[in-house]
Structure 1
C-alpha cells in the first residue's frame, strides 16, 4: 500500500463522517423549527385524571400537641440537649441548668452568663415560650449565642417540654 492509497482511504472516511454530521444538522433544523430546542409549545395537551388525592396538611396547635405529649419520647430527645445542659439544680454546663425550667423566669439562673438578649427578656419559660424558643432559638431571641438550629416538629417539642416539666419540684 502506497501513500496515495492511504490518503484516499482516509479522505473517504473523513468525507463520510462530514456527510453524516451535515445530514444530522439538517435533519435537526428541519424538525425543530421554533428557536431554542425545548421552548416550543405543545400543539395540544391531554388532561389525565390524577389517582392521588390531595393531602390536606392539618396544623396541630401546641396545646393539642402538649396534651398528647409522650414523656418517654421526650426523654430520648433530651439526649440532644444533654450535650450542653444539665438537669441538676445549680449544675450549669455550656448552657444553664434546666432543672425546674418550666415556669422559671427567663435568664434567672445564678452564676450563668446569658447572652444580652436572654438576660433582658421578661416573663417565664411557659411551655408555649419554650416551644417557640426550641423551634428556632435565633428567631425567638435574635442575638442569642445558643448554637442549636431548632426542632421543627411540634410533637417533638411538646414531648421534650413535657419531659422537662417532670424534672423539677
Structure 2
C-alpha cells in the first residue's frame, strides 16, 4: 500500500473513531438528564414506581419488568431494549408505542439523548 493511500485510510479510520466516541455520549451529563426520568423510574432491581424499574433494561423485552403492570400496548410491542429501540422510544414514546402509559413527551435534543443512553447503559446493569 502506498504511503499516501495508507495515510488516507488511517485518517479515515481515526475520524470514524472520533465520530463513534462522540456517538457514545457522556454518561455524567446523561445522569443530569435522568433527573427527568427519576420521578417515575428507579434503577434498583425490583423497585418499581409510577414506571417500571430500569435495572436490567438493556436486553430486556419491553413490558416484562417483574412486578410492574404494563399497558397492553407495551406488552405487545415485541421489542427488546437496546440503544436503537431506546433511541426511538425516548424520542417519541407515544409514537413508538401508541397507547403506552408513559406521559413523557420525549427528548428531542440529540446530544441529550446520546448522553442519557450512555448513562442508562452503565446505571441499569
Could you list the runs of 4 or more consecutive aligned residues of structure 1 that deviate by over 2 angstroms after TM superposition?
63-68
1:140 equivalent in structure 2 = 96
Distance in 2, Cα, partners of 1:135 & 1:82: 17
- 45, 51, 55: which is aligned to 1:89? 45
- Local SS of the residue matching 1:69: coil
Q: Unpaired segments of 5 or more residues in structure 1?
A: 1-62
Q: Distance in 2 between matches of 1:107 and 1:135?
A: 18
Q: Pick 1 or 2: higher relative contact order, CA cutoff 8 A, min separation 6.
A: 2
Task: Name the structure 2 match of 1:124.
Answer: 80
Instruction: Kindly state the Cα deviation for residue 151 of structure 1 after the two structures are TM-superposed.
Output: 0.4
Matched residues in 1 for 2:36 and 2:88: separation? 17
Contact 1:71–1:159 (CA under 8 A) maintained in structure 2: yes
1:1-169 to 2 correspondences below 5 Å: 64=20, 67-169=23-125
- State TM-score, norm by structure 1: 0.59
Query: How far does residue 92 in structure 1 lie from its aligned partner after superposition?
Result: 0.1
Q: In the aligned structure 1, how far is the partner of 2:104 from the partner of 2:119? A: 19
- State whether residues 106 and 118 of structure 1, in contact with CA within 8 Å, keep that contact through their aligned partners in structure 2: yes
The normalised TM-score by structure 2 is 0.79
**Count of residues in correspondence between the two structures:** 107
Between structures 1 and 2, the one with greater helix share: 2
In 1, distance between residues paired with 2:106 and 2:21? 17
